[in-house]
Amino acid sequence: MKLKDVLSPLRVWERAAQKPWTIKDPINDRPGADNYRGFHKNDFSKCIGCGTCEEICQNDAIDIVPVEGQETVDGDSGLRPMIDYGRCCWCALCVDVCPTGSLTMSNDYTWIADDPEDYRFVPGADKTKWQDSTVGYTRSPDIQILDYNRVDMLEIKPEDRDKSFIEIVKGYNKEQAIKEAERCIQCGLCTATCPAHMDIPGYIAAIRDDDLDQALRILYETNPMPEICGRICTHKCETACALHNNGDPLAIRWLKRYIADQIPADKYQEILGTAHLVDEQLNRKVAVIGAGPAGVSAAYYLAIMGYKTKIYEALPASGGMARYGIPEYRLPYDQIDKDVEYLKTLGVEIQYNTRIGEDITLEELHREYDAVFAGTGLHLGRSTRVPGSDHSRVYFATDMLREVTLGNEIDVAENIVVIGGGNVAMDITRTLARLQNQKYGKVQVLATCLEAEEVMPADLEEIVEAREENAVIEPAWGPKEIEIKNGKITGLHVSKCLSVFDEDGRFNPRFDEEQKKFFKADMIVESIGQGMDLSYLTEEIKAELKMTPRGRIEVNDKFQSNLKWLFVGGDIIEGPDVIHGIANGYVAARGIDSYLNSK
């Protein structure tokens, strides 16, 4: 034993003179670090109730519950996370995964309550002492639990596409589609928002598992036009996608297209198990007017239910506005045919070139069939009615697009102005740009609209691509007069548009008459909306039929008019877009079924 070892421990007494470490005051708070994972906070203005926090919580501590005052709207389920602190382990994975960044943590960690139930609470709804805390754990921008970057879609370059109507978007291959499908968080906000309420997370999961047969079956549960919808749907689902809050939304539309593109038409019957339908038809007949999305959808679900269904189409091919209103570079005609041809294998007849009201009357259909579904679309143009708009070289976009599809010669001018800022306006602008390029080797088409660029109704990609194809877009100008000299159009006078809607939200544009411009043109196309052609309604039917104050046919929630046998849907009721038409057709088919069964 060394003497040092005996004496050295006595130096412990040195510490008696040192300042103690212990916090002497236990009453005051000792705040957690700025990064501390304390009690949760939730910013309701950002939260969309996607439930990813609930999904990821490995303790099942989070339930997503209805909260008073939170409405369910597109892109927000109206539900909010309730956290059970009896289960929470404060790992903050819910915070890291939150796509909106609404869920955060305070640095507060003490809470005393009498009732154990208090420890199950909805952060953001229930008052807490830490709700205004500015510090605590938040999602770091440097890490990614979810994948916010979309798999790029390959497109044909502007210089390769601006003279032809070749399809621009190439579509995903298998590897890309699975990678994109893996980004989905299965929140289902898309399903709630989709007018057809498609099981989007379901078919995306099937893509992930590379089970395309199952994916197709899921598509056809609610949507019999996947090729069409997979290309030109207005994809409200993507706007609602939770990932959109912090990055690119999931490319739902392209994934849908991927499923349909991968499966050849002749496999559909086998996969969907519909071969027996033709032989098992009921002795009940339904007529469908119009082979557009609404008509096709109604006919499909009627056929599935066993009804003998016949579609009457005024034009020589199917697709309705999807064919005659949308250019081929966005939706190739053979893809429309693929969807419609499959319909024919179910025993649905389609009679083309037959206009109801001219070739057959609606009464005749009523007599011959048990029920009638009309999805006749918006094929008429609307005029700006500015001075000069009655000139023969002023056209409606809808008419012109139809002529292009029908293959008729268009007398394309060298300078064209398109009035309108929606997708149809972009369609005609880009169609005319191609035709000009073919004819003159250059593009001199200009589109102008009332709305400022940020609020233009057209999809952003349409505007970008139109510009890539050398079309000029001039937003926020209001047409005032079409100048005509010697019987020929010379151009369009416009004034700066300051606002489109008034305080009550009504269409009432305000102009700054001081700011003027003149767009040179020798041909003008109006694309400011479409109107419906209800000329097939005879006077007798019109007298009985109830209309809404806005001139639409009044229908119930099954799209049934007050004439019980007549169901109406599609653009003339809702939309205008493809997916509303498909959704209407589905609901109407079920309505017709319950009407006929109760007859």
Footprint on this chain of other proteins (rule: CB under 8 A): 1-2, 4-6, 8-9, 11-12, 14-15, 21-22, 32-37, 52, 55-56, 58, 89-93, 96-97, 105, 137, 140, 142-147, 179, 182-186, 208
**Shortest Cβ distance from residue 3 to other proteins (Å)?**
9
**Shortest Cβ distance from residue 59 to other proteins (Å)?**
8
Closer to other proteins at the Cβ: 109 or 511? Answer: 109
Closer to other proteins at the Cβ: 183 or 285? Answer: 183
CA-based radius of gyration for the chain: 31
Each residue of 512-549: b (16+ CB within 10 Å) or e? eeeeeeebebebbbbbbbbebebebbeeebeeebeeee
**Shortest Cβ distance from residue 178 to other proteins (Å)?**
10
Closer to other proteins at the Cβ: 11 or 506? Answer: 11
Q: How far is CA 84 from CA 132, 226, 415, in A?
A: 20, 42, 67
Instruction: Please check whether residue 582 is in contact with residue 297, taking contact to mean a CB–CB distance below 8 angstroms.
Output: yes
Instruction: Please check whether residue 229 is in contact with residue 582, taking contact to mean a CB–CB distance below 8 angstroms.
Output: yes
Amino acid at 230: G
Question: What's the helix, strand, coil split of the chain in %, to 5?
Answer: 35, 20, 45
**Shortest Cβ distance from residue 65 to other proteins (Å)?**
21
CA atoms within 13 A on the CB side of 40: 33
CA dihedral 71, 73, 79, 80 (to 10 degrees): -90
Closer to other proteins at the Cβ: 6 or 543? Answer: 6
Q: List 430's β-bridge partners, or say none.
A: none
Closer to other proteins at the Cβ: 150 or 366? Answer: 150
Closer to other proteins at the Cβ: 201 or 224? Answer: 201
Closer to other proteins at the Cβ: 21 or 507? Answer: 21
Closer to other proteins at the Cβ: 179 or 510? Answer: 179
Each residue of 185-218: b (16+ CB within 10 Å) or e? bbbbbbbbbbbbbbbbbbbbbbbbeeebebbbbb
Which residues, other chains included, contact 328 with Cβ-Cβ below 8 Å and sequence gap of 6+? 165, 167, 405
Q: Tokens 């001018």 appear where?
A: 413
CA atoms within 13 A on the CB side of 124: 24
Each residue of 370-402: b (16+ CB within 10 Å) or e? bbbbbbbbbbebbebebebbeeebbbbbbbbbb
Closer to other proteins at the Cβ: 9 or 487? Answer: 9
**Shortest Cβ distance from residue 131 to other proteins (Å)?**
19
**Shortest Cβ distance from residue 433 to other proteins (Å)?**
39
Closer to other proteins at the Cβ: 147 or 155? Answer: 147
DSSP state string for 112-132:
--SSGGGGEE-BTTB--TTTT
DSSP state string for 143-191:
--SS---PPPPPB--HHHHTTS---SB----HHHHHHHHTT-----HHH
Given phi > 0 = left and psi -120 to 50 = alpha, else beta, which region is 84?
beta
Given phi > 0 = left and psi -120 to 50 = alpha, else beta, which region is 166?
beta
**Shortest Cβ distance from residue 95 to other proteins (Å)?**
9
Instruction: Please check whether residue 212 is in contact with residue 230, taking contact to mean a CB–CB distance below 8 angstroms.
Output: no
**Shortest Cβ distance from residue 342 to other proteins (Å)?**
31
Closer to other proteins at the Cβ: 18 or 597? Answer: 18
**Shortest Cβ distance from residue 128 to other proteins (Å)?**
19
Cβ count within 10 A of residue 255: 24
Report whether the peptide linkage leading into residue 576 is cis, meaning its omega lies within 30 degrees of zero: yes
Q: How many residues does the chain have?
A: 599
**Shortest Cβ distance from residue 240 to other proteins (Å)?**
18
DSSP state of 291: -
**Shortest Cβ distance from residue 172 to other proteins (Å)?**
16
Amino acid at 157: K
Closer to other proteins at the Cβ: 32 or 381? Answer: 32
**Shortest Cβ distance from residue 36 to other proteins (Å)?**
6
Identify the burial level of 298 via C-beta atoms within 10 angstroms of its C-beta, where 0-12 means exposed, 13-18 middle and 19 or more buried.
buried
Closer to other proteins at the Cβ: 8 or 556? Answer: 8
Closer to other proteins at the Cβ: 23 or 543? Answer: 23
Q: Tokens 């499959």 appear where?
A: 342
**Shortest Cβ distance from residue 222 to other proteins (Å)?**
23
**Shortest Cβ distance from residue 286 to other proteins (Å)?**
42
